[in-house]
Structure 1
């Protein structure tokens, strides 16, 4: 179950008691507040709180108060200018706090983004639930032969079935021993902070994750990318759906310039100029390595 009965009761209570406010409000984000978007088999993402909107980005950029005579189109144009020229500070004026439930091995990837405030569920004080991420059969894949960090073709037949049984059996066995070790029935019981080391990396944890929009965009650019690991990408995609409703102009610029754009080196730009002039350019004449050339061709050929 992604959301426990107690968490759902808290969500229902908070949504049932709306409060008036004088602060800037994003109607799109208000619709997401406290709702849990399910991710993977037991995970979720939900917005706890946020600050700012598209107008706050423009206000910071202009260092002024109120909308004045500026129109929505002017604001959108300014935001695109800021994104295009990598002006990050105005985007830092917006912040959002998420409650995320995710497998531990995904959390270890996620925490590499060290520009957020994080408070994680503590297995030193509390007992973790018996909830593990078990991939769908179609998500089990062999190691990629061209990318040391990626996946190749999906496992099939008996191999896929055997791997799934290993994942389920090992997780259940580890949790059984975890429960036995911390039990104080007829024994002293091992401290929770020690017993937790026996739990597998696919057990679920939870945290509050607060980040400004500039650093959130950096996270999404990497983790919502098609090349990102599936298990973290689906969380990033769920967050994208929330952010595009929160700051539609900023998200549109981000989607265009960051997600849909490409950064080229000086050497790559020179190759493009030669190609436009009709000159033949090869990997050998480009001065690029095979890997860099392959990535370059992927950009220009689509």
Structure 2
């Protein structure tokens, strides 16, 4: 999985001036400089009491390369803007996702109350063989259809959801925290989540970027149970 920061306008100062407009009006505009104890306390107060809108006045754009089934799961979050590579207009590359050997394969328990456990060596071989064989055959049919002059938007129908695609996704810090609260498993979370491992691999990269860009906001998010305001 690849997640790369393309551009951003995001800092902890953005949260502070957005919050202070309610009491200071135009005087809330940032004058530069480092945040002091008062500003740090304000960000933590906003997170603790779940005053969410000040965390929306920033922007982060990521470039993501991942299997189609991961992008579709990500796009369930209707709190971001997306633009994805189109298989109608360009030929996709023959890149397919195959789970790594340490990926848990067996679901144990009922829906909503289950866990994943490692598979046997036989199951690991079956998964790898099945996915690799299916991917190869699907790609061969896809190329044959294109070579016969079939339109890309029709030929793509034979490709499985483990083929890689790419997209740009833009979101603000509040939306990003909602995404992280659902797409990461963390023992410090007030409301634990159990995401599919593949999207969690993307979310972990997003989280590292967020922590670097907005360390105070990220620290407050982590400190108050990873609950988005």
Query: Does the 8 Å CA contact 1:120/1:207 hold for their aligned counterparts?
Result: yes
- C-alpha change, 1:177 and 1:229, in structure 2 (3 Å) is same
Alignment counterpart, residue 207 of structure 1, candidates 150, 159, 167: 167
The equivalent residue for 1:54 is 12
Q: CA deviation at 1:151?
A: 4.4
Q: Distance in 1 between matches of 2:35 and 2:182?
A: 32
Segments of structure 1 that go 5 or more residues without pairing to the other structure are 1-42, 263-302
Q: CA deviation at 1:217?
A: 0.7
Alignment counterpart, residue 70 of structure 2, candidates 106, 110, 122: 106
TM-score by length of 2: 0.88
Q: CA deviation at 1:138?
A: 2.2
Q: Distance in 2 between matches of 1:70 and 1:120?
A: 37
- C-alpha change, 1:70 and 1:162, in structure 2 (3 Å) is closer
Q: How does 1:132-281 map to 2 (within 5 A)?
A: 132-148=96-112, 151-183=115-147, 187=148, 189-226=149-186, 227-259=194-226
Q: Which structure is higher in RCO with an 8 Å CA cutoff and minimum separation 6?
A: 2
- C-alpha change, 1:71 and 1:128, in structure 2 (3 Å) is closer
Q: Distance in 2 between matches of 1:139 and 1:195?
A: 31
Three-state SS of the structure 2 residue aligned to 1:139 is coil
Three-state SS of the structure 2 residue aligned to 1:225 is coil
Over alpha carbons, which structure has the higher Rg?
1
Q: Distance in 2 between matches of 1:124 and 1:46?
A: 25
Query: Does the 8 Å CA contact 1:52/1:94 hold for their aligned counterparts?
Result: yes
Q: CA deviation at 1:159?
A: 2.2
Three-state SS of the structure 1 residue aligned to 2:207 is helix
The alignment covers a number of residue pairs equal to: 215
* CA-based RMSD: 2.0
Cα deviations by residue, 1:165-203 (Å, 9 ceiling, x for unpaired): 0011101110111011011xxx4x211001111101100
